[in-house]
Amino acid sequence: MRKILYTFVLLTFSVFVMCCSSKTEGEKSCKESRHNFDAIHLNDSALMLMQSVDSTKIRIAIQLLDSAISIDTIQCDRRSFYWNKAGAYAILGDSVRYEKDMETAMSLLPSDNLLRLVFYGKKYKKANKSDSSAYYLSRAIFLCDSLLEKKYDESVVFSKVTALSLYKGDMAAKRCLTEALSKHPESVLLSTINENWNYKKQTFDGFMSNWQRNGIPIENE
């Protein structure tokens, strides 16, 4: 069941990474660049194979993504390929290779990207580097608040709840989630998180990692 969840989340949200542009200095956006359509085709073929939970097909998908990475120089495409490759390793349960490719994908996002901020905040917290973790997580929470002032976005709320759970603890995260749900009870994503709050007998972060392993890409513009 967990493998099916990983595949579902990956296929549902990976398109966001593919379609969004980077703002790093000197880099052309996806809209301005000429895509390598051979690489795009390899990526699409890999995603088709990843709809299966068959480990042989998943490993073939990884090979296709490696080929896509080797021939494409567009940064916004390459981060999508690394993202999908990390998702494939997540399905296989290979946490070491998952972490390696996910971090590569994160490094190719703009420095002010919300998903990147949360990712590095979580990474440094795990490494017991509290100052570095606080730096990234506080920036993530500030950015979430700024974005939510402009318009409601459940995936931004998702990121804020995640950042709060890592930075200030479960109580702060739960308050944020409860407040958001009181205003937007129709949100399937937030309702699911709320209903499964105690799904794991550990911390809130333990449950959230099931979602964030494939993540919800937040390409703040």
Domain boundaries, the chain: 2-107, 114-212
Q: Which residue has the higher pLDDT, 207 or 4?
A: 207
Identify whether the C-beta of residue 22 lies closer than 8 Å to the C-beta of residue 109.
yes
Res 216 pLDDT > 80: no
**pLDDT value at position 31?**
54
Most confident of the ranges 12-16, 32-36, 62-66: 62-66
CATH code of the domain made up of 2-107: 1.25.40
pLDDT score at 23: 37
Q: What is the DSSP string of 37-100?
A: HHHHHHHHHHHHHTTS--HHHHHHHHHHHHHHHHH---HHHHHHHHHHHHHHHHHHT-HHHHHH
- 37-63 mean pLDDT: 92
